Structure 1
Amino acid sequence: MTAALAAAWQGPGTLVLRAEEVLADVPRKADRTPEQRARVIAATDDARRARTAFLAEHGQDVYDALTGNRTRYLRLDELLDAAAVLLDGLVPTREQMAAEAGLAQADKEGREIDQAVFFSGVLRQERAGLHLMESLLRPTDRALALLPEFTGRGSVDLGRLHVERVGEAAHLTVTNPGALNAEDNDLIAAMDVGVDLVLLDDRVKVGVLRGGEMTHPRYRGRRVFSAGINLRHLDAGRISYTDFLLRRELGYLSKLQRGLLLADASGRPLTSRSPHWTAQTVQKPWIAAVDGFAIGGGMQLLFAFDRVIAASDAYFSLPAAQEGIIPGVANLRLPRIAGSRLARQVILSGRRIHATEPEARLICDTVADPAALDTAVAAAVEELAAPAVVANRRMLGLAEEPPSVLRAYLAEFALHQGLRLYAPDVLEKTARFTPAQPTPTAGDGGAAARSSAREGHGSSIMW
């Protein structure tokens, strides 16, 4: 198979090599003339078109070669490393990605787009795509290492996230106080580990996610759920396509809905806990407790939870379209949850929904006085800890979002989110929030611009 793939790659590989030669022949991105920029765009477009066509025809064979005919599970970075060795130029090398790691987003060549082409090509293949999705349901190595500590002490500090067992529940508290609990690479990694620990601890029946108290002056001492993606990190080139955008959707968000995989592709247990013969995954019900606001990625999270409890002064918004990106899997899930009309108002026009509005009942199950949120969460934990809940949520998940439907969506998301990361409008908008700007910024504790956007009921400047 490898020889046949190498032969088929010769034509596309020539175009990829030509693009690299063009890049080597021009100065850094900021110093290029219009003619040089045009040359680079033409060459990289040709290379990406060739990669796309190659993967459309050979994507399944490529994935099978990388995974031993789907007998091995590889994580995203492992798959990229193996693909770079299999066919020269199919994906950027580790060294090429490292060369861009310290650059601002606008100064990068956009090699993450080449990663997006690859993952989209894999996900478009039914067998390969479903296997890749399954591989990301495995427990993380860090969670397996921390599990004895968590089961013994009942708590663990993951930096951006604190996990604590309270009775039959495990409470995940987001602790990114200076940035209004905005999401960054570190938080995504911590959430992946935290969700694993909840699912691996047999004493835990229900998971609860809530935002911690803020240190930002405007919200000091108050809890907030999430301000979405950290725009300052994005502008600085510190939001990873694979470690943030793909890992978020294929990793812990998928584990919330589909559960944690307990066996490898050959049926060998992945943890000390052997999978039951009736299911290869362990699932548990999840509760989201929303204080303050759930913006962008924060609102996206709610669509994966079994119960959403919101404070009466909270609100929800998805301003991603105004800011230029795709709001994760919200475009798939929100129309099913709230209907097509409301979904378009929220996603395409940035409509904000306050917890006290009638439409909010399509987003959250319970609205409580802020002082009574703890009591509402405790009541929900008791209800969802019932033995039959897990079996029924498993069947609801299969009915609402079959894996094949999610795979087809993720195949398009993988490509187009990668493209949006480097779109001119996105780069221009995120540049407003660089550290040099005196106005405090979204995702890093900005108050002035954020306040005017929120109180004026306009588009938020967070995702």
Structure 2
Amino acid sequence: MNSSKVLYERHGTIALVTLDDPERRNALSREIVRGMSNALDTALRDGARSVVIAAAGTAFCAGANIDDLRNGWMESPDPAEDPAVMFRRIAEFERPVIAAVHGAAVGGGMELTLACDLVVAAESAWFSMPELGHGVIPNTGLALLARVVGMRRAFEIILTRRRVSSEEALNIGLVNRVLPESEVLDGALSLAAQIVESVPPGALKAARLNLRAHAAIDWDRVLRSPLDVPSEEWQEGLDAFTQKRAPEYGRFWERRAM
């Protein structure tokens, strides 16, 4: 099974799912979300014991497709095309999921890594959540980041929108391993095989199920939280991004002060 933007292949007992829209730096689009969901379905039918998510081109994933954000994702997303629904599917998937990250993992790309169980990153990898600067929120990141790196670091990463290098990501627990870029995919596949070849499926499923249960996420709030952002603010942020100018948020602050 392959969509035009998501590729699926088997490496022994491991399913490899590759984001394949390098011209747009694998920005999450409706097509990629659908393709990812289809690939996960195929992995289950195929009897894959684990899934590795990788990406083609120079970036892992450069965030959300802005055209799709402006065209319904912020207010009335189709569940079949909603990135947050996809992230939940990955987080609650029946098999271990490992991200193999190189280059940028920005916004939705960073959220994708957070939804995975484990992350193997290239030395070149970096992570960022720039959403607030565009007048939107990383709704899944708000739910998942603090439980990975702690509340203080989560606030700082989300509020400052700065880049986190692979070295720092390893130090704060955002990734599990850092390797040279040429070794990342093989490293992720090897890690997946190491896990599933030495434990039975029922015990593995129970361990993952209970780890998630002890750090429960309110997915209903994740799905509805974009509606907490005033529409005029995210419209200005996305307009500014599209027009390659600085956003003008001053008027919104002035109204709040009145």
Same fold (TM over 0.5): yes
Instruction: Give the letter for the 2:236 counterpart.
Output: E
Deviations 1:292-316 (A, max 9, x none): 0110111111122222110001101
Gaps of 5+ in 1: 1-155, 214-222, 260-282, 442-448, 450-463
Instruction: Give the letter for the 1:171 counterpart.
Output: L
Q: Percent same amino acid at aligned positions?
A: 24
Alignment of 1:432 with 2:243, yes or no, is: no
Residue number in structure 2 paired with 1:206? 50
Residue number in structure 2 paired with 1:180? 25
Residues 387, 371 of structure 1: CA spacing in aligned structure 2 closer, same or farther, 3 A cutoff?
A: closer
Q: Name which of 161, 170, 177 aligns with 2:15.
A: 170
Q: Name which of 352, 358, 367 aligns with 2:178.
A: 367
Instruction: Give the letter for the 2:52 counterpart.
Output: V
Residue number in structure 2 paired with 1:418? 227
Instruction: Give the letter for the 1:189 counterpart.
Output: R
> 2:146 touches 2:153 (CA, 8 Å); kept in 1?
yes
Q: TM-score, normalised by structure 2?
A: 0.83
Instruction: Give the letter for the 2:13 counterpart.
Output: E
Q: How far 1:323 sits from its partner (Å)?
A: 2.1
Instruction: Give the letter for the 1:285 counterpart.
Output: P
Q: Distance in 1 between matches of 2:174 and 2:36?
A: 22
Residue number in structure 2 paired with 1:291? 102
Deviations 1:235-273 (A, max 9, x none): 3x26473226973323x32332323xxxxxxxxxxxxxx
Q: Distance in 1 between matches of 2:164 and 2:200?
A: 29
Q: How far 1:327 sits from its partner (Å)?
A: 1.2
Instruction: Give the letter for the 1:253 counterpart.
Output: F
Instruction: Give the letter for the 1:210 counterpart.
Output: A
Residues 257, 224 of structure 1: CA spacing in aligned structure 2 closer, same or farther, 3 A cutoff?
A: same
Secondary structure, aligned partner of 1:363: coil
Residues 200, 234 of structure 1: CA spacing in aligned structure 2 closer, same or farther, 3 A cutoff?
A: same
Secondary structure, aligned partner of 2:16: strand
Secondary structure, aligned partner of 1:182: coil
> 1:172 touches 1:194 (CA, 8 Å); kept in 2?
yes
RMSD over aligned Cα, in angstroms? 2.7
Residues 246, 327 of structure 1: CA spacing in aligned structure 2 closer, same or farther, 3 A cutoff?
A: farther
Alignment of 1:243 with 2:78, yes or no, is: yes
Q: Distance in 2 between matches of 1:209 and 1:299?
A: 13
Residues 361, 432 of structure 1: CA spacing in aligned structure 2 closer, same or farther, 3 A cutoff?
A: same
Residue number in structure 2 paired with 1:326? 137
> 1:297 touches 1:328 (CA, 8 Å); kept in 2?
no
Secondary structure, aligned partner of 2:64: coil
> 1:185 touches 1:244 (CA, 8 Å); kept in 2?
no
Secondary structure, aligned partner of 2:17: strand
Q: How far 1:331 sits from its partner (Å)?
A: 1.8
Q: Name which of 87, 101, 111 aligns with 1:253.
A: 87
Q: Distance in 2 between matches of 1:358 and 1:171?
A: 23
> 1:184 touches 1:239 (CA, 8 Å); kept in 2?
no
Instruction: Give the letter for the 1:258 counterpart.
Output: E
Residue number in structure 2 paired with 1:111? none
Q: Distance in 1 between matches of 2:138 and 2:95?
A: 25
Q: How far 1:210 sits from its partner (Å)?
A: 0.7
Q: Distance in 2 between matches of 1:344 and 1:400?
A: 23
Residues 353, 245 of structure 1: CA spacing in aligned structure 2 closer, same or farther, 3 A cutoff?
A: farther
> 1:224 touches 1:293 (CA, 8 Å); kept in 2?
yes
Q: Distance in 2 between matches of 1:201 and 1:319?
A: 37
Spell out the pairing of 1:392-403 with structure 2 (5 A cutoff). 392-402=203-213
Secondary structure, aligned partner of 1:313: coil
Q: Distance in 1 between matches of 2:157 and 2:204?
A: 26
> 1:322 touches 1:349 (CA, 8 Å); kept in 2?
no
Residue number in structure 2 paired with 1:157? 2
Q: How far 1:158 sits from its partner (Å)?
A: 0.7
Alignment of 1:382 with 2:226, yes or no, is: no
Residues 368, 405 of structure 1: CA spacing in aligned structure 2 closer, same or farther, 3 A cutoff?
A: closer
Q: Name which of 314, 320, 339 aligns with 2:125.
A: 314
> 2:84 touches 2:140 (CA, 8 Å); kept in 1?
yes
Q: Name which of 220, 225, 242 aligns with 2:60.
A: 225
Alignment of 1:338 with 2:183, yes or no, is: no
